[in-house]
Amino acid sequence: MVLFSGGRGSGALTTQLVSNPRIDLVLAINGYDDGASTGEVRRFLGDALGPSDFRKNASRLARALRTAPEPLVELLDLRLRDDLVDGCMARRLAAVVGSGTGENPSLEGPARLSAALPEVARFLVQARLARFADELATGARTFRFDDTSLGNLVFSGSYLLVGRDFNRAVDDYCVLLGLPAGLVE
């Protein structure tokens, strides 16, 4: 069964369908969202659809199917504080997630959640954040972090790691949450 979905509208239906072992579900998402955090990601990448609806659905599915540790889903759904706006933010965020520790009170949430993750999950999230940070460091484009979902930054890193192929980035992000490639399209 193919279910066309946005970010939130079909949540209850999605959860019911994916929980039924007799249904082979694929979520089809249009990806044309360009709201605040998603719009900033699209502007920064320049050639991508908006990741938020894909991210929200992947989180919902991971929770329903219990394919990922809850702290990982919470970390990816975490919205960054508005005071995280300096140019070194992406590097610091990647370091905090990779180590599970941090002294900056503004990064307390990401540090606490990443500390609760298995080491391999921390490494995978950190690698994607680091790729995003590398792109930001080129100086080709700026990025406004205020109220950005950490998962959107991780998705951006996935997108960059797979050679700017959006469908492969969706699969990469889903696999990070223990979901099979092709469940979210």
- How far, in Å, CA of 30 to CA of 34, rounded? 12
Q: Which tokens in the block code for residue 115?
A: 């500390």
Q: Which tokens in the block code for residue 139?
A: 């100086």
Burial class (CB in 10 A: 0-12, 13-18, 19+), 43: middle
In this predicted structure, what is the pLDDT of residue 171? 97
- How far, in Å, CA of 183 to CA of 145, rounded? 29
Look at residue 180 and give its three-state secondary structure.
coil
Amino acid at 43: R
In this predicted structure, what is the pLDDT of residue 141? 86
pLDDT in single tens digits along all 185 residues of the chain: 988 877 666 777 888 888 888 999 888 988 777 677 888 899 999 999 989 999 999 999 999 999 999 999 999 999 987 766 566 788 888 999 999 888 777 788 999 999 999 999 999 999 999 999 999 999 888 888 878 899 999 999 999 999 999 999 999 999 999 999 999 99
Q: In which residue are the tokens 């329903």 written?
A: 64
Radius of gyration of the chain (CA): 16
